[in-house]
Structure 1
């Protein structure tokens, strides 16, 4: 049996504000554990079976932790570093766009709340998806994934690879 990825955490210097951002942009539930220290973002729903029905597997959650004192840690006061990473590559978080939502709506909502649009309108043939990206106000890179389908009709203004 493989080891299973169950959670991804990202840092913020204000986890409560970051949690509000993601609740407003994606409609996720903000589960404070406790408020301002650690927030679990719960998208709800289940992974789909090949026939489109819900499986027994719940969608993954995203954690937002205080960079100044990342929890859990054996030391109550945490350890350095205590600030957000600023230079170089960081992990990227991929979000599948719901069939009843759109990249345009998500990007506009993110930008209205302080995000920077990194790029939009790109087709990645290797995984057959439409991609867009933004950087949240805490420096985390979020990539949006739209399903292209069995016979993708890539718009003329999309870049391709």
Structure 2
């Protein structure tokens, strides 16, 4: 078995506020460990089988850590840098849009809470998906992914690649 991805962490100068943002935008459960230092965001549910039923595999979690003292670390006071990234490319987090949700609702909820929309309405044929993106108030880039299906009909106003 190869090495397994178990978590992706987002940096924030205020992990509590960042956790509330994701709780409100995506409906994820906020699990502070401890409050204000590190928050585990729990999407809940299971990955789906091809027939739409729940598999035995739980959805992945996202962590939110305090940029001022990223834990865990061997040094109790942490080390520099102590601020969120502000320049250049950063890792992107891809979120699959639930069949009961819409990119319009998600982008609206995110921008109402201080996110900046990057783009919307793009079709990526390589992976057969519709995508949209925003940067959260802490500089983390989120790409929304919508399944296009076996015979996609890409709306005329979508960009394509």
TM-score (ref. length: structure 2)? 0.99
Q: Which runs of 4+ in 1 moved over 4 A?
A: none
**Residue in 1 that maps onto 2:146:** 146
Pairs within 5 Å for 1:1-161: 1-161=1-161
- Corresponding pairs, count: 161
TM superposition shift of 1:102: 0.3
Structure 1 stretch displaced more, 42-51 or 20-29: 42-51
Secondary structure, aligned partner of 2:110 = helix
Distance 1:94 1:111 in 2: 17
Distance 2:111 2:83 in 1: 23
Distance 2:147 2:71 in 1: 35
TM superposition shift of 1:52: 1.7
TM superposition shift of 1:10: 0.8
Task: Give ranges in structure 1 of 5+ residues lacking alignment.
Answer: none
TM superposition shift of 1:100: 0.2
Distance 1:124 1:140 in 2: 21
**Residues 35-83 of structure 1 deviation map (CA, whole Å, 9 limit, x = unaligned):** 0000000000001112221111100000000000000111111111111
Distance 1:2 1:54 in 2: 24
Distance 1:48 1:72 in 2: 32
TM-score (ref. length: structure 1)? 0.99
**Residues 95-149 of structure 1 deviation map (CA, whole Å, 9 limit, x = unaligned):** 0000000000000000000000000000000000000000000001000000000
Supply the RMSD in Å over aligned alpha carbons. Answer: 0.5
